[in-house]
Every structure is written in C-alpha cells, then in structure tokens.
Structure 1
C-alpha cells in the first residue's frame, strides 16, 4: 500500500484552494476548513489539508501550484483571513519547504510572502461547502474566481491534472 503524506495550504478562499488541489493527480483527499499554526492555535485562517502520494506528485510540485494559484507575493487587506502559508506536519519537512520556496522565488518578480508554519489545529468548514466548485461549476463565484485557476492549471500544470476530476 502506498504511503500518503499530508501538507496544509492557505492563501485564498478555501473553496478555490480545495478545487485546485482536487484537480491534481496523486492527491487522495483535500480537507477544506481553517488551519492555525502551532505557535498561535487560536489564529485560524482559511486553508486546506492535502493528502497526497509523493510517488505520483512531489511536494515541490504542490508548492509550485499553490504559489501560482493565489497572490503569494501580496500583503492585502484580507491577508489575516487568507494567510499565505504552508503548514508542515513533520518537523523534517520544514527545511525541505524552505528550500522549495527559495527555489521558487526565481519565478516571481516580487518577494514571496508565503510563511512556512508548523501545523497547529484544523477546523473543518461546513459540509455544504465541501467540493464547492465540483458540485456546481456554473455558480457565479466558481466562474469568476475558481475557473481561472483551473484554466491556469490546464495551461501550466497539464501533466499533473487528474482526468477523473476535470
């Protein structure tokens, strides 16, 4: 049986983030909700936990997708609600993530603001919001905010897209 790894991602609306990662090969499950970092367990922001098979998709590819599908270089007024972060579950993953972010920085004109944080706690969003995009792609929010991210995946990350999802 293949071993499943997990990592948390936050940066934008969790409906968007969930759809992006659900569209990828090698992603077994995406939990949509709110994550807080270990150092501040009551400071939740919208995020997802991605369960993935590293033999199918690598952590560096997940990070690249994440950085490209939210405003990872912008400190905007909604940043507390939508913290740009990657949450690790194993301490050994921290340096790997630092190295990946440093390597990815060359692909951006402005400095990345995405924080690498130890996972603290998770609260699931309401069940009715799970699979938001895939339950009704025609909703105005989906067309306006999520569909452009899926289009970017098709253009830039086609080899990682799951045909069963799209």
Structure 2
C-alpha cells in the first residue's frame, strides 16, 4: 500500500469520493500541511494499492471532483494539492498533472507538494457521508461529486459502495 494526501474541497467531500473507490484502503480526513507552507488546509490521507488503482487515476478523479481550476476566495482553506510522501511520488504527481491539463479548458491550479503534517478530524465526523448520506450537507454538497464519480469513473467504484451511490436523488444525478 502507498499513501498520498489530497486536498481541494471540504474533507467530507473528498473523503466520500475516495472511500468509494476500488483499490483504496484507509481514508482519513482532517488538515494537511506541506513543506514550505505553515498553514494547514482541509484534505485527506489515503492508502491505496497501486496494483489496483494508480496515482494517475487517483489524481484524475481528484481533479474532476473538485474545483481544480478555480482560484476562489476559500483556496487558503481548501488548497488544491496532491501531498506527496517522497520526491519520486511528487515528480510522478507533477507528470500526472501536466498530462491531465489538456482535459481542462482553464489552467489546473492543483500543486504537487511534499507532505509535512496531518491532523485528523474528530473521530465522530470521520466517514461522514457513509454514516449520514441523508443529511442535507451530504445531499447538497457531497452527492453531486459522487454523481460525477459514478458517471465518469463507474468502473472504479467499489461494488460495496455502489448501492449507496445509485440511491442518490435523481435531480442531483
């Protein structure tokens, strides 16, 4: 298993997307910092099996499920980043980001940064979506991202999670 960090949207949203994938083991949401950046931003750490899902696919899904080209006012809280755990993983993430740029009309703002620290969220809010799929926040904010996952990356969705995703309200899909 390898570890990578991802940030760019609220950690509940990002966590739900990546908990839904085949080849992803543990997902922890919380606050991440990168080397050279003092401030922490919302994000996740995930452990994945590179034989089942590669870094390129993880980054591609990440870019499509958050505003990777928008330099909005909350970017300090939601830093669009891949947090790499080694120089090799950081270089691989940079290559992936460059290769994926042609799929987007605007420049991708997502950076490949070196992981520095992680502070997990409280235990009670971990696995937020799958513990509370009917809550208004889940329906309004997380479900649209999961609909993108289901429509564009259906072959990557874990069959154990698929039944929940297929129950999303029709007007959100």
TM-score, normalised to structure 2's length? 0.92
Give ranges in structure 1 of 5+ residues lacking alignment: none
Aligned to 2:6: 9
Q: CA deviation at 1:22?
A: 0.2
- Aligned 1:13-28 pairs, distance under 5 A: 13-28=10-25
Aligned to 2:166: none
Instruction: Provide the rounded CA distance (Å) in 1 between the counterparts of 2:36 and 2:116.
Output: 7
Superposition RMSD in Å: 0.7
Higher relative contact order (CA 8 A, sep 6+): 1
Aligned to 1:38: 35
Partner secondary structure for residue 165 of structure 1: helix
Instruction: Provide the rounded CA distance (Å) in 2 between the counterparts of 1:150 and 1:92.
Output: 30
Runs of 4+, deviation exceeding 3 Å: none
TM-score, normalised to structure 1's length? 0.96
Q: CA deviation at 1:165?
A: 2.1
The number of residues matched between the two structures is 162
Give ranges in structure 2 of 5+ residues lacking alignment: 163-173
Q: CA deviation at 1:95?
A: 1.5
Instruction: Provide the rounded CA distance (Å) in 2 between the counterparts of 1:105 and 1:6.
Output: 23
- Aligned 1:51-66 pairs, distance under 5 A: 51-66=47-62
